[in-house]
């Protein structure tokens, strides 16, 4: 069975892959910078298991 639920598995890489599925030019430097900023702004709301999501961006 393929792991697809980032929350259930507490896996930041699955969440990163989900973010990359959105058609927003996700590989651009601008998009990556925005994602890092959003992670930083919302760090108190993001579960500890996903705090290292920035390592994938």
- pLDDT, one tens digit per residue, over 1-55 is 567 788 888 888 888 888 777 766 767 888 888 888 888 888 888 888 888 888 8
Q: What is the C-alpha separation between 2 and 29, in angstroms, rounded? A: 30
Whether 1 is in a domain gets the answer no
Rg, Å, the chain Cα set: 11
Q: Are 56 and 16 in contact (CB under 8 A)?
A: yes
* Whole-prediction pTM: 0.57
Q: Give the chain's domain count.
A: 1
**Domain span at residue 40?**
6-55
């Amino acid at each position: 069975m393929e792991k697809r639920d980032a929350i259930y598995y507490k896996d930041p890489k699955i969440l990163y892959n989900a973010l990359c599925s959105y058609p927003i030019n996700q590989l651009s430097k601008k998009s990556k910078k925005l994602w890092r900023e959003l992670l930083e702004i919302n760090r108190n709301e993001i579960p500890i298991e996903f705090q290292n999501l920035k390592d994938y961006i």
